[in-house]
Structure 1
């Protein structure tokens, strides 16, 4: 009887500590809630990331996902999600996302963008965290076999399309390689403080 009481006490302590740990690991303050609200404002939900060239239409996000969560309550649910043929309303994908894994200190770790959303646009109030659109023939987007040094600095495609002066010459997105009839570029990261706080 005493043994059973000790076992129940130990189990109770374990259950309480397990329930308490995830809550204490997260910062649930009003300040944190405000940061999350601001972070969600840089997620692109406006439909600008819809690949609609050709007969297969696909929604692309700036947090590493492809697809739109059709028939859900997500703001993207009405966008094409591997819709084929185009404009048919027939979706062949719910959601797909990047999964990137490595070993850190010998321990396998994985960051994902679908279901557990660890990839996010960088920075809470970053105006450059959006989806950039390009296409073959766009200004500053030349690539081989055409002459591809758009800014004539001797380096080809050194300033990828991201709203930032990557090469330090005072110009923004002046020499990148546009590929295909429609190209999207966006910047996602899994080391943003909000991503680490939610998914340590």
Structure 2
């Protein structure tokens, strides 16, 4: 919900292949823990779409209607990152890329990279998005939490927070009614807590 409010309050109108959008300033924030039974997701989430997106992250084959598989792009790279962190637990180099040279213009993934770091005896994960629909962002965060948990189990350590960077957070005007319905509801006590990092002085609030 916070990301939707950010885009709605600080964004400007722009164009997209799917129609007009509101584009917000880039953001970096931290989620303490993503939970599938978060009260907001239980009330407003789409279980069928969430199951579909979970397959996109877990299966190597491309799942229609998607044009690429995060599962295929992540496979193998997690082992490399885990080996690096076992060798150098202090490392800042455990980054994996989810893009490929010469991507088809209509198949460039929204999630472009994942980073893993061990800090304070816990595994911190950073997800970098070139673009993200704030209305449906949970469809990525929940499967990413599964990736994070799997990596933590591999390294036999606790899972720390998930940091998220979004270069172009946006909302489609076609979703305005649903977005306003969600934002008008009081925010319940929730298990998915987010902490926003301060922006540079030149950035918009």
Q: Which TM-score bucket, shorter chain as reference?
A: under 0.3
Which structure dedicates a bigger proportion of its chain to helix? Answer: 2
- TM-score, with length taken from structure 1: 0.23
Which structure dedicates a bigger proportion of its chain to strand? Answer: 2
Q: Which has the higher contact order (CA 8 A, sep 6+)?
A: 2
- TM-score, with length taken from structure 2: 0.23
